[in-house]
Chain A
């Protein structure tokens, strides 16, 4: 019993660690797509932010400068995307893919030029990373059965960016459903003509949406580079931006279901890691290949059987052109 409980807590912690960048990216994508801008460049923005924050952390040793630099770069890339798609009515997917390709090449080239480590950045020490935070009383409550373990073992002991990611979900929910800005944001993704008729700038609304997306992906990239890891390795985002996009669509472009989808992907990954080489009674050792395929198989099953139809915002991917 005690073992099973400890195993559950360990797995839950791993889930949270793996899901954090997904959650941040999914919320970023949600803002952007709710405003009608397809955001396939999540991956590139996150990777770029990871590289810059790792570089700044390695050079200056300051986590805050690193976080700032990561966010700044992701916002620049988001503005580039906005400039192509909003100002010049470009194709959203082409622009997003271009950002992904550009960043994946440029980070390696700059990494080799700056640090000469084959595209890696030097690993940074604990002072230049977001380290786990112990919540108040966690040490005192550690010995209290169940609830104490839950509090000190699960709720406490994550780094700041993890807490930010979870707060971001509820902030997103509040902004999108409870504010005037959110109402207009949703409207501009469904029916930009109506928003324009009401005398509100479609372009400015959409720009604000991609900027928020840039901010969140910047935090996600910083998390990858100097919280989860201690440096940049080429292509370290490893497709997580796309998984976040999928999670957001799973959640039907709504914050809380999207969080659920991110946690599900995180959980499957965490379980897959922990099941490797474990002998299941009666079956024997499960082949590694099956374990690694498990998240994808379950995704297909869930998508086909349980999620139902996901309807995208109506005006998504359609450039808004005022009638002449």
Chain B
């Protein structure tokens, strides 16, 4: 039982000892306690399963980790099916539906998850057997239900959609695709197209082909005796039959001949996500690992690292700059990264390269070397606090054929290393002469300056090469000529003048919207600038509405109705203006041709249009057809700036004038509106605008 002492100490003791204390002397370390690694046991079952047991009864809990040794798989046009197969294991078995699995796992307060080559389960040790039974059920009897596959597919697509605007996700796609190449298992990219090619049978086939006991390791850790663990594994996995499993080899990715800069343009970025690196040939157990570990620690392993000290502490370009490396049986990697402000993107790259080269060119100081050794030894020691660490060591020793004492000697090997050995590792693995530099950021601001580091190539989300975002504007093209071409393209001055009113009924679609909800929109316009715009949702009525009847304007939404005045009213009136582009000059708008960019694969002129009331919009006109493709504007709200954009497409002619049949609204409300019915000059009355 616990003992609690409540003691008040004698004051005399305190006062005397304190007086003699010289606080300027930093305490010396006491003799170090040796690290105790603990023991593990290894068994091999008849069917080939390797079992590792780490018994530790400190806490009444257990963890089971099942690992299937599968070679990396090149998925090609079905990229994504292997990871989907892994998730599906947890979504139903021949004995239990997903609901039943959820209930049984949660009832124990346990957790269980699956991946393409693993099952992980943990919970209180009193539930050991039940947990083992559940793990075996998902690992051996998955049913791959179509319904769960469909749900998962929907989630995957939601995930793809949000990663398109996530600079870190983009950076990782770009780095992998261009460092390993897209014909390598580590470089291929999952897209909507590859997802569409996947069937539930692909997932089932993967499982049937690669999951086999002779490729399986099970680590049992925690409050359980080795004998009991063995008995449980035998009981639940003993009947699983051996089989031949295909293996795969891949040629090493081609090495670049110099530095290359690969960019994804993200036009609303205020920061550039930078990542620099190269592949390395460094397999588990390689004697160089410990050398590179030290080199990497000194370079970019945390807040003591040179990258952090230089790029954050000294230059203030970023909140953090780090480096890392991976050893791998197929091919390893060295990389460094930081998110930096747009304007210092090139300066930050210069500092990264400076630090790589400094480590390659000069031996590190004894002080730096000692600090790095202590830091790694310290974190190694802390990691042993969890019995999982020992199990991981054991699994690595078995899978990679490492010497039994590989980890016990790790720190001794590291301690013996010299500054010269660390330098040699930097020279070998930080390939400053053949390095890929990837940047995800605002191309128009950072693009030019990147050319100093090597040839610059732009990519899109799918990993395809695309043209640079800004291109020189052909001679003779001006803002005025772009507008004149647009007027001509939609029908010409004469035809436009004949339009008195317009009514459009549109269906509004939101990707993935529940089928129970249908949205529709009505837009009406009447000369000179009467305007009506209503968006409704079935079952919920009018979501939002804007009306200008020639005198007053109002906006209503779920949050109530508001009569517009002043600047807001002027904006609504301007929105109602008929083919306002014709009258830009007359009304006092300022136009500025900003350049030419690629917009969804189409060359477009970019115009900055400023209204007399100082509202700015950015408009894109097709260089080929002259039609307006996109219009974006930013307004101030109490919560900050809000940008909305309209994207126009599928122009069709009505009464000699071309109208976009599809309009996507991007902004707080994201909608795709498709014109169902369009009427020109149907005789709208002022009283219709209410």
Instruction: Tell whether A and B belong to one assembly.
Output: no
Which residues of A pack against B, CB within 8 Å? none
